[in-house]
């Protein structure tokens, strides 16, 4: 069987009728940015089904515009924390109370160059979601995050500053983790981290998921390069769609304002000592000190000064000399690097997809090819895993993973990447 057919079979096996789970057992629900990347892969063989993935995700949008990180279409006892732990949320479908990096507008623009009706059908929902980010999560012009889970990079060392500054709730309700039932615990977040993750959830549930209060009063508040750069690019794509659809000047000016604000906020993330874009704790002002796979998303967002980009490239080339498969999620020269522990080192397909795309667009095709080649070789050797050991290419965490299959299919259909595939 061809690798392409295996990728398609992976997506079909994870299809739950209009939405796709990341993988069975470990992740039995619909995840936000997973579905966006999944749509890219499905579109290479079934455009109608790809579009259903987009619209099913937006079915869970809250009245305030937020699209949650997870939509719970069932209460699967094999997953924790499920809907009962998040409490009553205001959306039309039970969900988490936080969001995820808003890549969807970029995906929609990619999927609909010749489908203005489809683009128009979801434009208002996308606009409302982006407005939510700027209204509910912005602090002094910087879009922030209230939970490591909202970033998608759950246990990245980026969050250690913010987590260290908070205490686990003394009355934290007891719980039993289910992730370690499916995966070796040494590859997953620690118990202390999980206690703090659930402390934030408990706080949010107790304030009725008032999103502005969660930002202003919650126990964790950091600025995340992934959210910043993904949103900046998504705002550009949203503006392009607004213009193509003939939206009114007020709407276009609003989105342009978000772009201008995002560009102005980019220096917030710059660590000049490291020569990299890093996370920042909003309350203390402290920057993290590790180059990671969100640092190079500046190219994807078309952001940063020429000097900042040059120093980012220098870090990428340094790291490429340390690993067999680019791009590790944490700097292998840093003591916090762990090649198989979730976001502390492994290569992540969706991050490689965005970073390679940005590098191609901004005049670094050789580095882009390195990122694609490193991931493709790992997939060819190990299969469609959630992420991969950057030193060996071995698969990590979840097998038969949807976004890995989708990224491979998308690259296989892209003339720029076809030679590498």
**CATH assignment of the domain containing 199:** 1.50.10.10
Is-catalytic flag, 386? yes
pLDDT for the residue numbered 198 = 97
pLDDT for the residue numbered 178 = 79
List the catalytic residue out of 154, 205, 210, 414: 154
If we measure between CA atoms, which residue out of 63, 139, 137 comes closest to residue 100? 137
Is the predicted pLDDT of residue 154 greater than 60, yes or no?
yes
Cα separation values, 45 from 17, 56, 137, 264, 410, Å:
17, 19, 37, 40, 10
Contact between residue 131 and residue 143 where contact means Cβ atoms under 8 Å apart = no
Number of folded domains that form the chain: 1
Is the predicted pLDDT of residue 415 greater than 70, yes or no?
no
Is the predicted pLDDT of residue 421 greater than 60, yes or no?
no
CA dihedral for 164, 165, 170, 171, sign (positive or negative) = negative
Tokens representing 182 are 């499916």
pLDDT for the residue numbered 188 = 82
CA dihedral for 328, 329, 334, 338, sign (positive or negative) = negative
Answer yes or no: is 298 within a domain. yes
Answer yes or no: is 421 within a domain. no
Contact between residue 313 and residue 364 where contact means Cβ atoms under 8 Å apart = yes
Contact between residue 239 and residue 195 where contact means Cβ atoms under 8 Å apart = no
Is the predicted pLDDT of residue 418 greater than 50, yes or no?
no
* pLDDT grade for 78, boundaries at 50, 70 and 90: confident
Answer yes or no: is 330 within a domain. yes
Answer yes or no: is 13 within a domain. yes
pLDDT for the residue numbered 76 = 87
pLDDT for the residue numbered 419 = 38
Q: Rounded distance, CA 291 to CA 315, Å?
A: 8
Is the predicted pLDDT of residue 287 greater than 50, yes or no?
yes
Q: Rounded distance, CA 27 to CA 34, Å?
A: 11
Answer yes or no: is 333 within a domain. yes
Mean pLDDT within 306-322 = 98
Answer yes or no: is 193 within a domain. yes
Answer yes or no: is 238 within a domain. yes
The whole domain housing 43 covers: 3-414
Tokens representing 237 are 């794509």
Is the predicted pLDDT of residue 112 greater than 50, yes or no?
yes
pLDDT for the residue numbered 237 = 98
* pLDDT grade for 184, boundaries at 50, 70 and 90: confident
* pLDDT grade for 420, boundaries at 50, 70 and 90: very low
Cα separation values, 58 from 32, 86, 99, 228, 354, Å:
9, 19, 12, 21, 22
pLDDT for the residue numbered 187 = 78
Ranges of beta strands (E only) in 25-139 are: 30-31, 70-71, 138-139
Is the predicted pLDDT of residue 121 greater than 50, yes or no?
yes
Residue 77: Cβ within 10 Å count: 9
Cα separation values, 405 from 39, 44, 209, 385, Å:
11, 11, 34, 9
List the catalytic residue out of 34, 158, 179, 386: 386
Q: Rounded distance, CA 406 to CA 4, Å?
A: 10
Q: Rounded distance, CA 259 to CA 219, Å?
A: 28
pTM of the entire predicted model:
0.96
If we measure between CA atoms, which residue out of 375, 252, 251, 371 comes closest to residue 317? 371
Is the predicted pLDDT of residue 37 greater than 60, yes or no?
yes
* pLDDT grade for 182, boundaries at 50, 70 and 90: confident
Q: Rounded distance, CA 48 to CA 90, Å?
A: 29
Answer yes or no: is 420 within a domain. no
């Amino acid at each position: 069987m061809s690798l392409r057919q295996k990728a398609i079979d992976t997506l079909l096996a994870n299809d739950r009728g209009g939405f796709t789970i990341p993988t069975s057992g470990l992740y039995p629900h619909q995840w936000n940015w997973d579905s966006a990347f999944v749509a890219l892969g499905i579109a290479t063989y079934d455009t109608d089904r790809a579009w259903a993935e987009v619209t099913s995700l937006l079915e869970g949008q809250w009245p305030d515009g937020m699209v949650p990180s997870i939509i719970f279409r069932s209460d699967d006892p094999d997953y924790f924390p499920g809907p009962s732990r998040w409490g009553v949320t205001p959306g039309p479908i039970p969900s988490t109370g936080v969001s995820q990096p808003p890549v969807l507008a970029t995906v929609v623009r990619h999927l609909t160059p010749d489908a203005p009706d489809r683009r128009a059908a979801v434009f208002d929902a996308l606009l409302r979601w982006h407005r939510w980010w700027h209204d509910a999560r912005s602090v002094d012009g910087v879009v922030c995050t209230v939970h490591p889970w909202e970033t998608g990079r759950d246990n990245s060392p980026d969050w250690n500053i913010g987590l260290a500054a908070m205490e686990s709730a003394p009355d934290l309700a007891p719980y039993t983790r289910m992730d370690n039932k499916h995966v070796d615990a040494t590859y997953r977040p620690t118990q202390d981290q999980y206690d703090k993750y659930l402390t934030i959830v408990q706080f949010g549930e107790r304030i009725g998921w008032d999103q502005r209060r969660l930002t202003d009063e919650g126990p964790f508040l950091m600025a995340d390069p992934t959210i910043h750069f993904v949103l900046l690019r998504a705002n550009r794509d949203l503006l392009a769609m607004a213009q193509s659809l003939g939206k009114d000047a007020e709407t276009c000016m609003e989105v342009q304002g978000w772009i201008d604000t995002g560009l102005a906020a980019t220096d917030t993330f710059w660590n000049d000592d490291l020569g990299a874009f890093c996370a920042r704790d909003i309350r203390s002002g402290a920057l993290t000190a590790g180059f990671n796979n969100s640092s190079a998303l500046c190219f994807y967002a078309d952001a940063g000064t020429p000097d900042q980009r040059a120093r980012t490239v220098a870090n990428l080339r340094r790291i490429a000399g340390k690993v067999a498969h680019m791009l590790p999620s944490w700097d292998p020269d840093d003591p916090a690097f762990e090649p198989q522990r979730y976001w502390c080192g492994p290569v992540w397909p969706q991050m490689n997809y965005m970073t390679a795309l940005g590098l191609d667009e901004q005049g670094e095709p050789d580095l882009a090819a390195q990122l694609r080649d490193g991931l493709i070789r790992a997939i060819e050797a190990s299969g469609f895993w959630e992420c991969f050991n950057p030193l060996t290419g071995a698969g990590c965490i979840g097998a038969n993973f949807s976004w890995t299959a989708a990224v491979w299919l998308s690259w296989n259909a892209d003339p720029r990447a076809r030679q590498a595939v």
